[in-house]
Each structure stands twice: as C-alpha cells, then as structure tokens.
Structure 1
C-alpha cells in the first residue's frame, strides 16, 4: 500500500486482542440486551394481557355486588311504595348495602312524580352541596318530595355511624334536578332490566361516574346506585408495568371510565371525558387504535410505538374479555427506558466485566506481541538495509514461528540475489560502449550464475544468423578468432527454437575447438520484450544445475537481454533522431539556393572551434572542456540552428528585387507605362484627326515616349536595389508616381478571398477611375496575426521590435527602400527564423543533458555587446557554445560559394571582416583568436573552400587588437 499511515506489528497485535475482547464482550452484551429486551417485551405483553384479565375480574368484583344490591333493594317493600315516609324506613337497609359494597357511593330511588330519595356514604366521596358536612357524619340522606306540578321541597340530613340523625335542612327543591329527566331513570323504564349508564357528572357529588339502575314495577319506581370512577382509578394503579406507566379504561364509545386524571386530563371535569381529550402523547393515539381494534374482527389488542420528547413509548390497547358489562378496553402507555431498565443493567454489567478483562489482557497482550514481533522487527531492520542497497549485513534471525524462519531465509537469499543484480546493473549501466559492454556482461553473468565461463552469440545485422561475438573462461577472454563466427555450438539452435534454456552434457570435441576442457553447458536465449531473439548466452558449468538455479539464470538472462535491447534501442533512436536532424537541415538547404549547404557546413566549423577551445592551455579557456553530452548538444544545436527557416516564405528569403513577392510586380508597373505610352499614341492620332500637323503631333508623341521610357528605366533601376536611394532619387520617384492612368476594369474580380477581404475594408470606387501610376494602397498592408506577437517579459526573453504589419507590399514604399530589397516587415520575417528555431527546439522534450540545445542553436545572432537578436543577450549571458556558433555561422556565410546574391569571400577577406566584427562588439574576441591561432579556420578552409579562396597562410595578422577580452 502506497502512502497512508502504518502501524507497528506489536501495536497491531495488542489492538487486535483488545478489539477481539471488546468485540466479543460487546456482542455478548448486545446479545444479552437484545434477548432480555425481547423477553421483557414478551413479558410486558403477557403482563398487559394478565392485567386485562385481572381488570375484568376486578371490574366484575366491583360491579357484581352493586348489581346484587340494586336488585335486592328493588325488592325492599319500603322502596316499592310511592311514599317518602316508607323510603325513610328503608334507610337502615340501604346503609347495610352501602357497607357491604365498596363500589357504590350512594343508593337512590325515584318515581314518575319526580320524587327522589338518596342515601350516600360521605366518607367515600365529596358532596357538592352548600352546607358543611358535620365531622361525625357518616351518611347523607337527601330527598325531594313533589306535590303536583310544583317544585316541591327538599330535605337533607346526616347520620352518624350509629344512624343517629344529625341536623336537618328543609328547603324548596331545585327545579334543575328531576329524576325523571336523568338518563338512568329513562333507560331503566325503557329497557325493563338492570342497566348501566354511560359516564356522566353526578348531581349531588359532582363526580364523574356511571349509574346502575332497575325499574321495580309498573308504578314508575326506579332503584339505582352511583358508581364513581374514582374506585376504578384506584383499581388501575395496581396494573402499572413501570412507575411511569399510564393506564386508562375506555368504553366502546371512547369515553374514559378510569384513569389517573391528574396526569392525563387538564382542567376541571364537567362531563364524562373522551379519549381524544387525553393530554399524554403516548395515550393520545388510543382513539385511532380503538377504531382500528373495533373494526378488526377477532383482534384482542393493538400495539404502537412512538417517540415522546425524545423518549420511546409503547402504547397498547386491549379488549377486556366478555363480562357482565358492555365492551371495555384497557389502554396502557409504557416508557421504553423504564421497561428495559433491567436489560440495560444486564448489558452494563457485561460491559463492565469486559472492561475488567481488557485491563487484565492488555499487559499480557503487550508481552506476547513483543515476543512475537521482535524477530520481525529485526528482519525489518535487515530489509531496510536492503532497501538502502546495503547487502553486507548477514541475515540470520531465529524464531519459533516457522513463517518467520522462512521469511528470514527468503530475505537472505533475496539479499544475495539483489546484490548480484545491483552489481550487474551498476557495472553494465555505466558502460555505454558496446565493445566494452560485452566482456563485462560475460564476466558478470558468469560470476552471478557461478559458471566457469560463458559465450555470447548476437544478431549483429537484422534478420541475419547469430554470430559468436565473445567469450570468457575463468576471468580470461576466449580466443574466437580461429572459429567461424556463424558456427553455432552447444544447443544454440535448440534454445532459439524453443525459446527456453537447453542443457547439454559435456562435449569434448566442441569444447576443444575453443580450447576449453569438456564442460556441461546451458544455452539460454536472450529474448526482447517482443519475444524476438537477440542472442544466446552459453554458460559453462561442471556442476549439475537444479531448477532453482536454472530459473535464476533465466531471470538473469532476461536482464542481460534487456540491457542489450536497451542499448540497441538507444542506438536506433539516436540514429533515427540523427536522420531527422539531417532531414530538416537538408530541407532547409534545399529550400533556397541562397543558403546552399549552410546547415551542413556550420556544424563542422563549430566543432573545429570547440575542439580548439578544449585544447587551449592558456587564457580564459585554459580550463574549458566538454563532456560527451556537451558535444552531442553542440552537434544538434549546430545542425538545427536554422530550423526556424522552414517557416520563412521562400519569396522573402529569395527576394531579389524590391517589388518581388511570389512574382516581380515591376511587370505591373511596366504595363501601366505601356498604357501611358498607348495613351500618347492615341493623343497623337487624335491630334492628326483634328488637323494638327503630323510633324508637330509626332514630335510631341515621341517626346512623351522618351520621357516615359526614361522614367520606367529609372523605376526599374530602383527596383533592383543596386543603387542607394538618396533624397533626389526619392523625390524623382515620388514625382513619377504621381502620373495618372485610367483604370476601367474592376480590380475586385478574380482575386483571392484574403485579398478580397482586405479590399472590402475600403469603399468601392465608380469606374472608370484615374489612379496614380505607382501607389501604396491599403489592401497591400497585411495585418499581423495575434499569435505572431509576443509581450514584453515573455517566457523566451524575446525583445525584438515587431513591425505593425505582417507585410507591407505598397509599391511606392518598396521602391523607396534606401538600401537592399527588403522592407522592415520582410527583414523582421527573415530574422524571425531565430525565434521560430528557439520555439521549435524548446517544444522538443530534450533530456536535462541536452537542455542547452535551444540556447546554442538560437544564440548565433546575438552579439557580445548585447545588440543582437532575438533576446539582446550579452557575452556574459551566452554560453561558450552559443558564442562559438555565432563565429561558425558568420565564417561559413562569408566564405560560401553557393549564394547567388553575393560573391564568396577569400579566407583573408573573411578573417579581416570578422576581426572588425570582434572589435565592434559583435563576436567573441577570445574565441575568434582561438579559431585563428589553432588553425581551425584553415582546416575548415582546406575542406570546404575552393583553391582560389585560400589566399593566405599568415593567420596571426588577423588576430583582434585586444584578444584578451573576457569571454566567460
């Protein structure tokens, strides 16, 4: 794995043991917690179902005695009469029923006249009346006796535990209460049997409860008992599963029969509450659950889980088994935290035990890991030494772990093998010469394979048979001169055919031909990466070779093949690059006859000067030397110093006249002069027609012709560039240019798209039109593309002034060139070849050793005084090789005979000119002095100059006046 963080094995073992113990403990704790939770959940469900059964029993136990008491009182003779006095006689019986039934808070009777009689146990319930209840009062007796349609009067008194009367209050009865309007009275008469009302608020006590009532006969008498839901609330408390559990008893209409009202209701109750009024969120869902349970046939319970204030609650609704009452449902809300408290306790205890085990395990794990990791740590140090290419330390690590022992042995063998390979790599990679490389290869492979000797067959020519190129026997070369190189010994052909090593027993006859004792051989083919045979390595070994040894030799042979192939590829690549260099240089020389063999001759002059500088024993260059890479860089740079000329248009390089582009435009001007002469002829004929004397008209025509001929002759001489254009010549040229001629044809027809685009930038002129004989027209100015410009401070350091236009082909401007034939734009285009040379060479991926090639090639137009181009570098900023190139370039240009635009200089003339260039700050004085003193210039002249150019042998007279100029 590359990158990332690592960890020591000792730490890893400790961490692994800790993680193992932690994981096992955590899984045990989690498993125990899950099993306990599942058990508690199932137990809670069973407990809820048991609570439902117990609630059914308790509910029946609460209501059954009340039912019996109501039936019993309905048979009481005093209560079966419509007489208030008779009802008073039944008070002891009613008190007995109150004492025997805990569920009922009061018993009462009402009739169809609106009379009402009630006996209540004030110790069980609060009484909602105006008068204060005496302290010793045990029972309350309240009656309403009506006469006719009047409100009647009410009577209220209390009884102590001995049924002694305590006070009495008689007042007009309240019209708000009439038993005949109460639900228990109407339902008892309508149904005819024992009934239980829906929960409602009691008139006397103000409590919420239900009434048990029974009609006693046909005289409209109804006996009943009030059952307050407080009794049911106390019953529900016994069914709580956890301290914070919430329970509620519902009927099928969703009315609350019993609940802990202080928790589930808010405000003062004025009527029977409904399930939707429950305040606790865990119970608020009971309404939906009740509807679901009622609509589900055969279902006895409904369960939901929800989150309340960040805590999980489980809400369950159970249908109580069939009782003597209507359908009753038990709702239970249980907080999950309390329900699973026992499970969490078990989990925490297991985790605590796991932590204790960890505390005891870590020291033991640390000791064991150190004992296991110590040999590996030692092997790591050995491996680190191998990684640092230190193979001197022996590897012998003892351990009771077999894998560690095997690793130690394998690492030791690897160290030995790598030591051999590194020695081979070091010694072979440092030998670039193939003639020296082959003996080294034979020696090293013999040593690494523990062989007595070796032979090497190679394919010297592509697709040719292998030839014997060398051999070694016990550190001595084998004389192969007496052996036919193409003769193949020792199973060479078999190994080539099989592409596998081939063993051969000792063959005394074959060995004797090489002057060797009879020895067994192993022929190993040397295959390229494309499985092409490069050669065969024959190893002599008098000991039997096992498969491991053969495998090692096979791997070794692959490296030998790779080394041979690499050197072959490098040679081929270098040859290919050399061919491309010559191809580019030849193309440049062939492009224009004006350059001739320039690119071929400059490298020779540069190398002669470089060798002379290396041979210098005094002066600035006394310590100057060049490596093989420096020589190769100079070779490439000198051959490609003008490669940028491939981008220079030929008509610019070869421009022989001022008006020449692709063709010489002097012919256009000549034609215009012809037109003017034809106009003179027409004027002559017109004059004759008008009666002018022929002699006069003819003399006038001839005078015009002579003038035009003279003016054209002058323009033609201006075009050649052979004469300096002084002010008088320029003024005369301007005068001639002002002559007018009549153009009648559209000059936008039949032209290229590029020229048409330039013309369209100017307005169309109506024909015919009088134009100047010689003119500079806007369409003759070619704009410079943005990619042919560069900013100040560019990456190459170019600082040449760039003309505004790419070309300016104005006729008058070109003819007005004072010296030569080139405009400013064309001169820049020619000089730009150095810029293109630098750009092109910088685009090539030269290795670091050849990184100076662009500077060598692109600096031959720089000057020592910094006034050269394209970068304006000074002598101190130029390398010695770049300064050598400048001298070689100038010398070749002066002496070349293949340039038709100028005669070649003799040796003395060239050296004289170059001495002046040195003194003028153009060339390096010290290098030029070496070029002259060493005779390098004469060697070049003898090879490339004609005999008539070799006009001097006295070279020292051309040394600069100050040849001690610094040229570092």
Structure 2
C-alpha cells in the first residue's frame, strides 16, 4: 500500500458510523418539520392581516357613521338661516351637545355663501387651551366671521365654560378664514349628501382627521364637522403581530393617513403642516411594499437591505371616495422566531444525542484500541522530540506492556540528559549546578545516589560539592599527594573513605589540559552490582565528561569575574590613593548606593512599585558604583589638590615673594644711591621706610588673596592690578634649565634682550597652555561627540596667568581648572564606553557617568533631565553627594555632621539637583543612619529632624509618598 494512503482508526470508524446515521435521520425530520411550520405561520400571518384590515374598516365605520347621522340632523337646523350673531349664538346649546357627546368630533361649524363663518370647538385639553391662549376654565371657543354694514368682515373669538357662560371675547382682525375657499365647502355645495374629505392635518389643532360636510336642507349654508382619526394611529400599535411589524394606511398617491407615531413624521412648513409620504417614514419595507404591491392574495416575501420580510396589502373600504389600503410588513425573523426556536431546540436535542452517542462510541472504541493508541502516542511523542511524558501502559497484552516499559525508560534517560544540558547552560552557581546535574545523572543511569567532590589544590584535598540520595559522605577527603595526570578516569581515589556498606562507581573529572577537577562517586544499588558492561561504563563516563567541561568553564568564568572585581577595586583604590581629597570615596559610595538601591527595589511606595533589581542588575549597579569616578585617574593631581590660587605643581607665591624681595633690595639701593648723591639722610630714610612698609602691605594682601577664602570684590581686583603694575628688572635668562616640552613652548614667544623690565604680577603668553589637538569633544554639536555630551569647554586648556589666577572671585580654581575637574566624568564615560562589555554589563558606562546630572537638566556632562535618568543613576547621585559631605578623611575640609549634611541634601532636592522621592526613601528607611553607624565618627551622628524633612519632601513632591 502506498505510504501516502490515509488510514482510519477503528475507534474513529466506530464513532463515525453511529453519529452519522443519527444526524442524518434527525436532520431530515427537523427540516420537514421546520418547512411545515413556516408555511403554517405564513398562512396564519396572511389571515391575521385580513382580519386586521377588517378591524380597521370596522373601527373607521364606527367612527364616521355617528358623525354622518349627526350631520344629517344638523342640516335641518335653523342656524342655516340665521343672519346675525345673536341668532347663531342661540343655537350654541345644540352645537355644544354635539361635540360634548361625541369624543371623536372636535368642532362643528357653518359656512355661508357670503363668507360668514360660525364655529364651535371644544377645548378638552390643556394643550388646546394653550394653543388659543384661552382663559383657564375655557371649555369651548366660538370662532366667527360676520359681515358688517360697510361690507367688511370682522373676526371674533368667544370663550365659554362648561355651562356656556361667556368668559371672554376677542376681536380678531387677523382671523381671515374664508369657508368658501375650503374643499369641504365647495364639495358639499355641489352635493346633496354627506361629503368626506381625505385625512389631513387640521389647521388649528394640528390633529389628523377628516371633515364631514353637508349642504343645509334649505340650501342657505354648508354645515361641517371635524372628526379626529389620531386615535386610529395609536390603536394600530396594539394590532402589531410582532415587535417590529410595520402597519400603515396609505393612499394611492403615497400619502400616509395613519401610522404609529405619525406625529413624528408630519411635514412642517412655514404656512402649513401636511401628512408624510411613505418615503418619509424611514420604513424601507413599507416603501418597497407600496412600490411593489403583491400580484396575488396572501403574504408576499421580499428582502430589503439584507433583511427578509413578509408583506400584505388589503384595501380600506370604510372611507368613501378615498382610495387607500392597509399595508402590513412583518420581519421574517420575528414571524418565524417560534419555528426557528423550535428548530434550534431540536438541533440542541440532536447535538445532545450526538454527544451521548459519541461518548458511548468513544468508550467502546477506546476499550478496544486504548493500549495500542497509547503505545502509538508514546512513539509519536519521541519522533516529535517530546520527551516530557512518561506513562507505563497497563494492559493484558504482554508485548505491548513490555514495549511500553522500554520506551518509558528511554524517554526518561533522554529527558534527564536534556535536563542536564539545560542546567549546565542556565545555572551560574557551581555548587547548585553540580547538585542538579548529579540528581539527573543518578536518575538517568538508574543508580541509587551519588556525590561530587571538587579538588582543592591549596588544601590538597577533595571537598564535597553536592550529593543526592546519600547523607553520610565526608565533607573533605584528604590524600597524601596530589593525583597526577597518570590517574585514569576509572581509578578509585575515594572508595576507601566512602561508606563501606555501599558499592561505588567513581569517575575522575579532568579539564582539557588533563588537570584534575574532581571526582563523581555513584552509588550502585544491589540489583545492578552485577552490571559490569563496558557500555554502561562508557555511558556514565561520557555523561560525566560533560560535567567536567561545565566545571572547568564555570571555574574559569568565576576566576575571570574575580579578576574583574579585583581590577575594578584596584582602580578605585588607586584613585583614592592618588589624592587625599578623595581618600576612601570610591569605596564608600558603592556601599551607600547599594544600600539605597536595595531599599528602593523592596519599597512598596507608588514611585518605586515598578522598580526592581535582579541579581544581574545588582552586579551592573555595583560595578558602576565602583567605577563612577574612574575618570579621575586622568585628572591632574595639582588641579585636584589646588589649595591656593597661584598653586600649580608648587605654590608660586614664593616666586612672587622673591620679586618683592628684589623690590625691597631696590628700595635699599635707592636709599644708598640717594645718600651717595648728597640727598638728606632723614629724607632718604623716610622714603625707604615708606617704600618697605608699602611692600610689606602689598605682599600681605597678595598672599592673603592667594588663599581664596573669601569672595573677591571689584576693589580688591583693582588693587591686584595696581600692585602688579610695579616693575622689576630681570637679568637672568628664563630659557635656561627647562625641559624639552617647556622649551618648545617658550620658543613660540619672542625672546627679550637682557636685562629686561617686567611687571611684578604678569599674565604672560607662556602662562597659556593650548589644547593642541587634545580638546575633549564635549560640545553638543561636535561631530566627534558620540556620547551625547552637552558641555562648554574653555578656549585654552590652562591659564596660569598670575593676575588671572589671583583675580578668581571665589575659591582657588579658574574656569579652565574647574572644567578639568569636571572632565573626570567625561573621561569616565569615554574610558568605560571603550571597554568590550558583555551584554549584561552594557549599562555600566551610562550608570557610572550620570551621578553629576541634575533633574532640571542643568547637570553635566549630558544635561539629562529626570525622565531621562534611571533610578540607579539618581541613587548614585545621592550616594556621591552624601559621602562627600560626611567624609572625615578629607584634608581640605572638616567632616560635616548628619544634621548639616541632610539639610544640604534637602536644599539640593528642592533645587532639582537630587531626586526628592529617593531622598524621602533615604531618610524614611533609615539608610542614612545605617551608613552613619558604619562609616561616620560618633561625634558626627547628631540629632536630625527626620519627620520634619519627610513632611517638607512630601510637600515638595505634591503627593503622599
């Protein structure tokens, strides 16, 4: 048989046969029943439509017949011959009885050939009274037009209560209703019987109705009455067969005479209100039915906008002379809802029966094919590389049972081998890795337990690294001498010191260089002790060989990590040792930063709820903290240590003092020259003393200015210039005794002839040190700036000018020297970014180089803002500042107490220098105090108003932290 032939299982065929026959039979019966029910329902709908049409005809007859009878009686009333208003009002009682006793009649009126008009209208509702602005108790209104002697016609309205008492009368000059122009007047004048108008909207009340009119018996007037058919539209709602059935009375010209909620569809213009056309009902089914009337009796099926409908049209005969029909459209889904519901119920019952039969068929088929199917599934799982399932088949078939057991063992072995490879690739701790691998190795080989020993070269012994299913193995096994490379993998090194009650199989572990790594000792159960086959030993040795490679790799990684940690700490120690100004800064900052970051990762405050640190994150942060100032290794020591304004590699105040000494000697020489030339000795002594006193004062001022302890005002700067303008004579060449680099710098400057006169304090060209290609790329628009720096570098690298340095307003550093100190963070980022960091450590340069940034974007070197900084970067900034404030080993400043340090931290947080939420956590969690007890002197730990600072920080944050 072809390999592509589809094969069917016995269980499937068994189930399929039962279910197919049942579904086929049920489907035939359900279809026949549904078709019969639909036919019956459609026929019933047609009969209901005919009954509805008959009902409407009957209701219209009941509405119109009493009105016609009343109208015939009124045609003999004397009001037709009344020529004056009092005569007509004399018939008011008769007219009121007509409208009061017939609720459908809203008004009775008389029209005369000369244009006069008399109408009585009942005001039954508040809406009608409001429409005519009638008095409160009005029950009737009389509207009349009377012919005056001058042939003019005047209008008048009279309001009466229920007892026909006159309440008010209005002269209505605007009431220009001429009955002779109305259709009812004209039609009745030409007929001897009652005439009936088509339904229309009454001019005064906006109700829908018809007008009945008849010429009086004497032929002198036309009597009419308005009969409202608005209730007919309301009653049509009760005749709907389904919720969305549409019923309408439509004339042949398409005008809708009755329809539920017809008031909403009335067509209003500025002068008139008319009945809607069928197209204006927003009823597509009725519109379709009107345009496509049925050609045969009974319901017609049609579809509109994807919806199926049934339509019926029945003529309306109750309104004489008015050709109209009743149009009924029924949605098919509602008309046939009951049938379809019954069909669904039958289908559900059929489905239930199918499920029951499937279950029965499945149970019967499963009992027949279950063992073979499960065996097939086991083998199929292996072909699909699924080694997770292990289920022994319990069956009476011996061969199937044994084959299932073999497959289970093979699956378990493969699964344990895969688990070993997973552990070797994922577990970073060597002890945990060895214990997990050993457990899987024991399970894969069917042994009862085992132990792993690692070779400790320093102690010349094997150290227990992990066990499984054994508990009495010694933790250390000493040997007389280190095993050498001649030891084979199967040599027994530990058996003499392992529990003698058990049988052990040892495998010696070696690396690629055949150096001893350790020993794997496997406990062999009693039932397997006879197994001494080469295949078993080969399998175990190969499995443990993978372990040896993993151990060697892990030890190499750990040694490299230890070397990296040592180099990092060595660099930090070198920076601290390089300058007494940093001292232990690089060691203490990581301690404080790790303390605060751990508290932030464990904090439940809303601001830190999404912040957490894995072990890898902690490693990155620890390395970044240790290296945060590594760029200081490039900072010139004399700049970092500069304590006076004239200090470079030495304090140049001594040069200045020597020049003052020269001027002192010059003053003495001037004294003796004056004496020799015959000047009065007293005068010369006074000049000498005055000059020497001035020199003493000037040097004292320059020396004090050199310290830089106070702010230098403009007056002091002017005095420096004045003192510096004094001249002295240099007789010796300043180009002698120079280094090669310094001589090259002087060669670019003109060489004056000796002796030469120089200023006491000068800013010379040789004081300027240019960048000469070493300008750091810190400007934002610098093409070489690939680190995102945003700083301004000074024009020159250094300016050692004496006046320039003495003129420093505050402190001892020039702009160039301050940039050189700040440049250490630039060099930190450049140095760290140049290293080939592995992927998990790639954030080290970013974190290490951001602790001088500010939240408001005014920090350096990249002017980052708060959203651009991570929590770790903000933590490192706080740690860096707090350590610097509290350090007690700085030679240039005393250590600050806790209270002053925290006060400064708060001001920096307020000024958007530090993160307020982290400072809040720093204080609230007690990190500051924990650090203080470890690194601060006892006298520094004073009282701090922590609650007060916390409240201020919460106000600063604007929310409850």
User: Does 2:710 match 1:714?
Assistant: no
Shift of 1:904: 1.6
Report Cα offsets for 1:486-519 as digits up to 9, x if no partner.
1679xx99997423224899x9x977x36x44x3
User: Does 2:944 match 1:948?
Assistant: no
C-alpha distance 438-833 of structure 1, shift in aligned 2 (>3 A): same
Shift of 1:590: 0.8
User: Does 2:515 match 1:532?
Assistant: yes
C-alpha distance 510-815 of structure 1, shift in aligned 2 (>3 A): closer
Q: Distance in 2 between matches of 1:815 and 1:904?
A: 28
Matches within 5 A, 1:173-322: none
User: Does 2:554 match 1:561?
Assistant: no
The TM-score normalised by the length of structure 2 is 0.55
2:766 matched residue in structure 1: 779
Q: Is the 8 A contact 1:927 1:967 kept in 2?
A: no
Q: Is the 8 A contact 1:925 1:967 kept in 2?
A: no
Q: Is the 8 A contact 1:659 1:719 kept in 2?
A: yes
User: Does 2:416 match 1:427?
Assistant: no
* The one of 521, 534, 537 aligned to 1:550: 537
Q: Distance in 1 between matches of 2:676 and 2:667?
A: 14
User: Does 2:435 match 1:439?
Assistant: yes
Q: Is the 8 A contact 1:657 1:720 kept in 2?
A: yes
Highest CA radius of gyration, 1 or 2?
Answer: 1
1:699 matched residue in structure 2: 686
Shift of 1:792: 2.9
Aligned CA RMSD, in angstroms, stands at 3.2
C-alpha distance 930-661 of structure 1, shift in aligned 2 (>3 A): same
Q: Is the 8 A contact 1:471 1:478 kept in 2?
A: yes
1:579 is paired with a residue whose SS is helix
1:499 matched residue in structure 2: 488
Q: Distance in 1 between matches of 2:515 and 2:483?
A: 15
1:597 matched residue in structure 2: 584
User: Does 2:876 match 1:915?
Assistant: no
Shift of 1:618: 1.9
* The one of 542, 558, 563 aligned to 1:576: 563
Report Cα offsets for 1:430-474 as digits up to 9, x if no partner.
3333443332122122123332322222224546122344433xx
Shift of 1:746: 1.5
1:792 matched residue in structure 2: 780
2:733 matched residue in structure 1: 746
Q: Is the 8 A contact 2:517 2:548 kept in 1?
A: yes
Q: Is the 8 A contact 2:910 2:956 kept in 1?
A: no
Shift of 1:417: 7.1
Q: Distance in 2 between matches of 1:546 and 1:584?
A: 57
Moved more, 577-586 or 750-759: 750-759
Report Cα offsets for 1:10-30 as digits up to 9, x if no partner.
xxxxxxxxxxxxxxxxxxxxx
2:90 matched residue in structure 1: none
Q: Distance in 2 between matches of 1:440 and 1:499?
A: 25
Q: Distance in 2 between matches of 1:665 and 1:504?
A: 74
Q: Is the 8 A contact 1:648 1:829 kept in 2?
A: yes
1:876 matched residue in structure 2: 867
Shift of 1:562: 1.6
1:534 is paired with a residue whose SS is strand
Shift of 1:755: 2.1
1:478 matched residue in structure 2: 471
Shift of 1:820: 0.5
1:615 matched residue in structure 2: 602
Report Cα offsets for 1:65-116 as digits up to 9, x if no partner.
xxxxxxxxxxxxxxxxxxxxxxxxxxxxxxxxxxxxxxxxxxxxxxxxxxxx
1:525 is paired with a residue whose SS is strand
Q: Distance in 2 between matches of 1:809 and 1:536?
A: 69
User: Does 2:853 match 1:862?
Assistant: yes
Shift of 1:387: 11
* The one of 700, 710, 724 aligned to 1:723: 710
Shift of 1:607: 1.2
1:55 matched residue in structure 2: none
2:461 is paired with a residue whose SS is coil
2:283 matched residue in structure 1: none
2:452 is paired with a residue whose SS is strand
Matched length = 558
Q: Which blocks of at least 5 consecutive residues in structure 2 are unaligned?
A: 1-377, 391-406
2:374 matched residue in structure 1: none
User: Does 2:449 match 1:453?
Assistant: yes
Matches within 5 A, 1:817-896: 817-896=808-887
Shift of 1:677: 0.8
C-alpha distance 726-442 of structure 1, shift in aligned 2 (>3 A): same
C-alpha distance 526-679 of structure 1, shift in aligned 2 (>3 A): same
Q: Is the 8 A contact 1:470 1:478 kept in 2?
A: no
Q: Which blocks of at least 5 consecutive residues in structure 1 are unaligned?
A: 1-381, 395-410
User: Does 2:673 match 1:683?
Assistant: no
Q: Distance in 1 between matches of 2:411 and 2:475?
A: 41
C-alpha distance 393-448 of structure 1, shift in aligned 2 (>3 A): closer
C-alpha distance 558-596 of structure 1, shift in aligned 2 (>3 A): same
C-alpha distance 387-840 of structure 1, shift in aligned 2 (>3 A): farther
C-alpha distance 633-494 of structure 1, shift in aligned 2 (>3 A): closer
Q: Is the 8 A contact 2:910 2:916 kept in 1?
A: yes
Shift of 1:574: 1.6
C-alpha distance 392-636 of structure 1, shift in aligned 2 (>3 A): closer
Q: Is the 8 A contact 1:428 1:440 kept in 2?
A: no
Q: Distance in 1 between matches of 2:435 and 2:411?
A: 25
Moved more, 849-858 or 433-442: 433-442
Q: Is the 8 A contact 1:926 1:963 kept in 2?
A: no
C-alpha distance 692-927 of structure 1, shift in aligned 2 (>3 A): same
Q: Distance in 1 between matches of 2:422 and 2:476?
A: 30
C-alpha distance 387-495 of structure 1, shift in aligned 2 (>3 A): farther
